[in-house]
Structure 1
Amino acid sequence: MTAEDTQRLPDLGRLRLLVKLQRLGTMAAVAESTGYGTSAVSKHLSVLEQEIGVRLLRPVGRRVRLTPAGERLVEHAVAILASVEEARAELTGGAEPAGRVRLASFSTAVEPVVLPALSRLRERYPRVEAEVQEHEPEQSVHLLRSGGIDLAVVYDYSLVPRAVPRELSARQFREEPLYLAVPAGHPGAGRPVELAGLPDLAATGWIANSRGTDDDELVRRVCAIAGFMPRIAHRVDSAHLVNSLVGAGLGVALLAESGIGRSRTDVVFRPLEPLAGTRRGFLLTRAGQWSWPPIAAMVDCLTSGSRLPRPDGPGSPAAPR
């Protein structure tokens, strides 16, 4: 590498400022988080544009937004900075992780998965702060791609695998069996469900999720295997409300193990045979960010005691498309 080539390499500090701008949204927020003045941040990013040789920012009113080239550079910068941090940690033994992780999770994973992980985080990594938001997987994917969050707990069904956008990376860490929730007085309520017996529920209303399409599709595919088209009668967000609707005799539902109301006496949860598949839990982040110390700390706490021995495995979501 010649001296001229070295001079053309972008400065890592300026790359960090660009990544922060993409995450935080404004020059003022970047300045506040770094201790620089706003004018200094602007100057550094202007120099970065000169180093790269393309426009990275465009004015929008009194603010700036990243151009497509700027967004693309952020993707590369995240991977570059993560590699640098990983190499530094490997060579020096690393320091205690510190920083903030913005974590999104779907509702039924918050209590059984996220809350215990936050307790472990407080004990193991006291300098890492977690900000938790509740979102369905589709919204979490959107927020990851736009820089609104750093890490997401999402799910899919083995019968309805989720495609992962190319700029994101997934790790599976949980797998749960599925149950058919029926009213306590329903015929056959005390027996496991065989798909051959599902057509008896063809005239029954089914309950699905109002904020995502995966639950509808799961119900349709399970019922299609059994040979009939289901009628979706209700769509609600809360697993508690799903249980209540079933208990009131207003429908039946497919629920993962973490969504069943164990203390209820008005609902019976019948195990489904393996052909119905499972619900799988995944962690999602932007490609190249797994080794960022705060995310690595959060992942460690989320995967401790999970149902799978490894976070990676053959049952991963569908390939990017």
Structure 2
Amino acid sequence: MDVRRLETLLMLSRLGSMRAVAEETHTTTSTVSQQIAALAREAGTPLIEPDGRRVRLTPAGRRLAEHAVTILAALEAARLDLDPAAEPAGTLRAAGFGTAIRRSLLPVVARLADDHPRVRVRIHEHETDEALAMIAADDLDLALTYDFNLAPAAPDRTVVSRPLWSAEWALGVPAADPHADADAPTVFARYRDHDWIVNSRGVADEQVVRTIASMAGFDPLITHRSDSLELLQDLVVAGLGVGLLPVAGPTRPGVRLLPLRDPAPILRCYAVVRTGRTGWPPLALLLRLLESGMSDRASSASGTPSS
């Protein structure tokens, strides 16, 4: 089967429409349709079927798309095997949330500049969903992402995720509020009538808030959204709501952190790459340095998903 046609089918399975595939590949919907039709002839079975004004994959099409993940990953690995001992060289495209860039990536970039000057890293700040979309579109080589133990990321066979570090989170409330030594639902229950603040660019912390609030028997009123934890703290100080904050992060005057346990929300940071790419020498080197850097700082546990 033609590799490019398999790539087109896999992209169709992800993007959901021929127009989106055409826009992504800078071709036309007619070209995309012809590629899918030719692949169907090679496969000997229909791969798409009408779905209103659009199309969707048939069961056979979905199955072939699953095989395409493995096939394309194997081809990537085969290309790498042609020169497995190559000196790392090239430009890596990396993106992630602010703290992961500062804590994990910047020290590695400085080390690369000294020890491997032929490897360069382009850095962009993006939230997890944005970075993963760029990985899927092959616009990125490495994504630094996060989830929470109470809002785990869904498994994805098209990527490889390597854990880097984790950080405990607490409930940020006005400093005048009394300390609370209780399980998380009991702490949350004290603020059932308050406004709540969550991230404006990601949903993981909102899922954690809703999960613990549900355990406490109420539906939190999400009033404010901010992707800046500094602004979130300003809102808390102004008496406009409460929200989750990292235990080890800097806390402004006027903010108190109430510990949360049973359950305790834990943010988990990952290095994410496309399946089949981990053997590319520059990326393999970057992953090794990220993981070794985390082991060197295993006793440190601070982290936030915001800039």
Q: TM-score, normalised by structure 1?
A: 0.68
1-structure distance, mates of 2:279, 2:172: 40
Contact 1:59–1:65 (CA under 8 A) maintained in structure 2: no
User: Which amino acid in structure 2 is aligned with residue 292 of structure 1?
Assistant: W
2-structure distance, mates of 1:199, 1:176: 23
User: Is 1:204 matched with 2:194?
Assistant: yes
Contact 1:174–1:306 (CA under 8 A) maintained in structure 2: yes
2-structure distance, mates of 1:242, 1:167: 34
User: Is 1:171 matched with 2:159?
Assistant: no
- Residue 184 and residue 286 in structure 1: after superposition, are their counterparts in 2 closer, same or farther (change >3 A)? same
1-structure distance, mates of 2:246, 2:151: 14
User: Is 1:152 matched with 2:147?
Assistant: no
Q: Which residue does the alignment assign to 1:225?
A: 215
Q: For 1:76-155, list aligned pairs within 5 A.
A: 76-86=71-81, 88-89=83-84, 94-155=85-146
- Residue 293 and residue 178 in structure 1: after superposition, are their counterparts in 2 closer, same or farther (change >3 A)? same
- Residue 183 and residue 86 in structure 1: after superposition, are their counterparts in 2 closer, same or farther (change >3 A)? farther
- Residue 65 and residue 118 in structure 1: after superposition, are their counterparts in 2 closer, same or farther (change >3 A)? farther
Q: Which residue does the alignment assign to 1:253?
A: 243
Alignment RMSD: 3.4
TM-aligned CA deviation for residue 307 of structure 1: 6.1
TM-aligned CA deviation for residue 172 of structure 1: 1.4
Residue by residue over 1:137-160, the C-alpha shift from the partner in whole angstroms, topping out at 9 and shown as x without a partner, is 111111111111111011111111
User: Is 1:285 matched with 2:265?
Assistant: no
TM-aligned CA deviation for residue 118 of structure 1: 1.9
- Residue 98 and residue 269 in structure 1: after superposition, are their counterparts in 2 closer, same or farther (change >3 A)? same
User: Is 1:243 matched with 2:233?
Assistant: yes
TM-aligned CA deviation for residue 99 of structure 1: 0.6
Q: Any idea what SS the aligned residue of 1:306 has?
A: helix
Aligned match of 2:206 in 216, 237, 242? 216
Q: Any idea what SS the aligned residue of 2:278 has?
A: coil
Aligned match of 1:297 in 285, 290, 297? 285
Q: Any idea what SS the aligned residue of 1:186 has?
A: coil
2-structure distance, mates of 1:158, 1:223: 16
Q: Any idea what SS the aligned residue of 2:165 has?
A: strand
2-structure distance, mates of 1:197, 1:214: 20
1-structure distance, mates of 2:74, 2:211: 38
Q: TM-score, normalised by structure 2?
A: 0.70
Question: Which consecutive residues of structure 2, in runs of 5 or more, have no partner in the other structure?
Answer: 9-24, 40-64, 299-307
Q: Any idea what SS the aligned residue of 1:175 has?
A: strand
Question: Which consecutive residues of structure 1, in runs of 5 or more, have no partner in the other structure?
Answer: 1-7, 23-57, 311-321
- Residue 161 and residue 286 in structure 1: after superposition, are their counterparts in 2 closer, same or farther (change >3 A)? same
- Residue 103 and residue 278 in structure 1: after superposition, are their counterparts in 2 closer, same or farther (change >3 A)? same
1-structure distance, mates of 2:32, 2:166: 40
Equivalent residues, number:
252
- Residue 210 and residue 286 in structure 1: after superposition, are their counterparts in 2 closer, same or farther (change >3 A)? same
Contact 1:182–1:268 (CA under 8 A) maintained in structure 2: yes
Residue by residue over 1:254-283, the C-alpha shift from the partner in whole angstroms, topping out at 9 and shown as x without a partner, is 12346x324x22212232114133111111
Residue by residue over 1:234-259, the C-alpha shift from the partner in whole angstroms, topping out at 9 and shown as x without a partner, is 1111122112212222211112346x
2-structure distance, mates of 1:307, 1:215: 26
